[in-house]
Chain A
Amino acid sequence: MPSMATTTSPTTRRTATPAARGRQRHTIANPRKNGMLTFFTGLFAFYCLLPLIWLVINSTKSQTEFVTTFGLVPGERFALFENIAAVFTHDDGIFLRWLLNTLLYVVVGATVSTFLAALGGYALAKLEFTGKRVFLFVVLGSISVPGIALAIPQFLLFAQVGLTNTPWAVLIPSFLNPFGLYLMWVFAAQAVPTGLLEAAKIDGAGEFRTFVQIAMPMLAPATVTVLMFSFVAIWNNYFLPLIMLKDPAWYPLTIGINQWNKLATTAGNGELLQNLVITSSLLTILPLIGAFVMLQRYWQSGLTLGAVKG
C-alpha cells in the first residue's frame, strides 16, 4: 500500500521548489524509500518463504527424483498431479477422511469456542453480576497455564468416562478459548455502547435477544479475529489428538501426516513415500495460507486490539 502511495498521491508541501515538483516529494507520512532496509527485510522474508518454496518445488517431483535431484530446482518430470492423486488414493483414500475429520474439528470447535467467548466476554463487559471479578481473574490466570500440562490429566479423565478415541476428546477441549474471551471482553467494552443496549431493553428486547441482534453485529471484527486464530490453533493442533486418538479413522491431518512420515522413514523394510508426505503437507497448509492472505484486513485489525490493550 505505502509503495503505491509514493507514486499516486502527490503530496502538497508548500516548500517544494519548482525543480522538485516533477519528482516524488517526501513527507513524514511518506518518506523516501530505503534500499538497504528493504534488502534486509527482504532477506528475512526469504528465510520465511524458503521452506514453503522448497515444499512447492518438491511436491512436483516423483519419489525417485526427490531423492536424486537438488532440493531447490524442479525435477525433469512434473509429477504434482500424480502425487496429489496418490495422496488421495493411498491406503484406501484415508487422506480424505483425515481432511474431513480436520474440517469437523475446526468448524465445530472454532464456531462453538468463538460463540462461547463472545457470550462470556460480552457479559463480563456489559452486565453486572456478583462474582464477576473473581470469574475474570480465574479465567485470565488460566491463560498462562501451559496447554500440555493440562492435556495429560485431561486424557486420563476422558479415558475414565470412555471419551478417548472419539471425536469428542478433541472437540471438547477446543471449545474453551480463554484468550478469545479476553479479546471479546476488551472489544465489547470499547465497541458496544451501553446506551444502545439500554434502548433495546426499554423497547422490550430480552437480554439474550439484545446480545444476538445488537451486540453480536458490533462484535464482528473481534469475532473474525477470534474465529481465525482458533481455526488455526485447531487445524494445527498436534499434541491433543496425538494423545487422545488411537484409531486412524479419527485422525486429523497433522497426526495422519506424522504417521505417513514415520512409515516413510522406516526405510529398508517400509515403503518410500516421501513424495506423499510432502504433497500432503502442501495440501494441509494451502487452505490456511489462502484464508490468511484473503482475510488479512480483518484479522490484522483484530490483532491491533490485543496489542494496544495488552
Chain B
Amino acid sequence: MAALTHTGPVAGAPAPASTPRRMRTRRRQIGWAFVAPFGALFALVFIVPIVYAAYLSLFQERLVGGRVFAGLANYTKLAADPQFWDGFARVVRFTLVQVPVMLLLAMALALALDSMRLRGSKFLRIAIFLPYAVPAIVSTLMWGFMLGVRYGLFRNLNDWLGTSLDPFRPGATLVSIGVMVTWAFTGYNMLIFYAALRAVPHELYEAAAIDGANQWRVIRAIKLPALRGSLVVTIIFSIIGTFQIFNEPQILPSMVANSGITTYYTPNLYAYNLAFTGSQQGYAAALALVMAAMTIAIAYAVQIRGMKRALQD
C-alpha cells in the first residue's frame, strides 16, 4: 500500500502539438466526462424513481375502474390513517431511546479504547465491530433463536427458574429489536468516534498534563469537543437507519408467534405491505415520500443545530 501511494509521476509521451487555448476550454468541461457515468446512473436510479413515485402518489387503485387520478387524496388519507401514525409513533419512540443509548455506549467505548488503559484493546475493538459485518437476516435469526422461548436460551432459562419470561411478547418485542439493532451498530459508531479521538494532536494531552488536568478534565475539555463533528454525522445516520427499520419486523413474525408485530408495525413495513400484498402502489408511494421528507427534515435540523453549536464555541 505504502509503495502504491508513493508512485512517482509517470514519464509521459512527448507533448503533442496542440494549442494551449483549445486545451483549456476542453479541460474546463472534461470534468463532466468523469462525472457523467455516475450522474447518468444517479438520474436513472435516484431522480427518475423519485419523480415517478411523486407521479404515482397522485393515483389510487380502485376495484372498479383501475388506476384513477386522485389528486392529493393519498396524502390526506395518510394524514388521517391511524395505522400509519401508529407505526410512525413507534419508530419515533424507538429512535428516541435506541439512538441515545447506542451512541452513548459507542462514545464510552471509544473513550475507553482511546484511554490506552485497556488490556487486549485490539481484540476488543475488532470484537465489538464484528456484528457490523453480519447481515440483518442472520442477526435476526440468531437473536430470534437465542431470545425465543421455543428453542432458545430463554426456554432453558424459564425451565431452570420456573419463570415464563418472553422477550417477544407484544410489549417487549420492540425492546428486543433494540437489543438487536444496538448489537449491530454500536461497534461501527464506536470506530467513527475512535477515529476522531485518534486525530487529536498529542501535544494537547501533554499540555493538559503539565497543567495538572486529571482524566475527567481531559475528557471534558479535549476529547468530548473533538467528538462533536462525528457526533452530528452518527446522529444523522442513526436516525436515517432507525426511521427505515424494516428487516427485523419483517423477518421476526416467521420465527416467533404472537410477537405483536402487525403489518403496519413500522412505516416501511406498512409501505412494503401496501405495495406488494395490498397492491396499493400509489398510497405506498405517498407514504414512502412523506417518510423520506420527514427523514431529510430531521437530518437537516440535526445538522444545522450541530453547526450552530460549533459556531458558538
**Is residue B168 contacting chain A, with contact meaning CB distance below 8 A?**
no
Q: Are B38 and A49 in contact (CB under 8 A)?
A: no
Q: Are the C-beta atoms of A310 and B232 separated by less than 8 Å?
A: yes
What is the size, in residues, of chain A's interface with B at 8 Å between Cβ atoms?
121
Q: Which among A55, A172, A298 is the interface contact of B44 at CB below 8 angstroms?
A: A172
Residues of A within 8 A of B138 (CB): 55, 254, 257, 281, 284-285
Partner of B9, one of A214, A254, A307: A214
Q: Which of B45-53, B75-83, B169-177 contacts A (4 or more CB under 8 A)?
A: B45-53
A31 adjacent to chain B (CB < 8 Å): yes
> Nearest-CB distance from B130 to chain A (Å)?
6
Please tell me if the beta carbons of B285 and A152 are within 8 angstroms of each other in the complex. Answer: yes
A308 touches B196 (CB 8 A): yes
A99 → B minimal CB distance (Å)? 13
A44–B151 alpha-carbon span in the complex (Å) = 25
> Are A292 and B130 in contact, CB atoms less than 8 angstroms apart?
yes
User: Which residues of A, 205-259, contact B by the 8 Å Cβ criterion?
Assistant: 205, 207-209, 211, 213-214, 217-218, 220-221, 224, 232, 235-236, 238-239, 243, 253-254, 257-258
Chain A contact residues, majority secondary structure: helix
- B63 at the A interface (CB under 8 A): no
Residues in B with CB closer than 8 Å to A71 are: 145-146, 151-153, 156
Q: A122-179: which have CB < 8 Å to B?
A: 122-124, 127-132, 135, 138-139, 141-142, 144-150, 152-157, 172-173, 175-176, 178
Is B261 an interface position by the 8 A CB rule? no
22 A-B contacts (beta carbon < 8 Å): A1-B121, A2-B118, A28-B206, A29-B202, A31-B115, A37-B112, A44-B109, A44-B128, A44-B186, A119-B34, A129-B28, A132-B31, A144-B296, A204-B12, A208-B33, A232-B132, A236-B135, A281-B137, A288-B133, A292-B129, A296-B126, A300-B191
Interface residues of B (CB under 8 A from A): 1, 4-5, 7, 9-16, 27-35, 37-39, 41-42, 44-46, 48-50, 52-53, 56, 105, 109, 112-113, 115-124, 126-139, 141-143, 145-146, 151-153, 156, 183, 186-187, 191-193, 195-196, 198-199, 202, 205-206, 209, 229-230, 232-233, 236, 240, 243-244, 246-247, 251, 254-255, 268, 271-272, 275-276, 281, 284-285, 288-289, 291-292, 295-296, 299-300
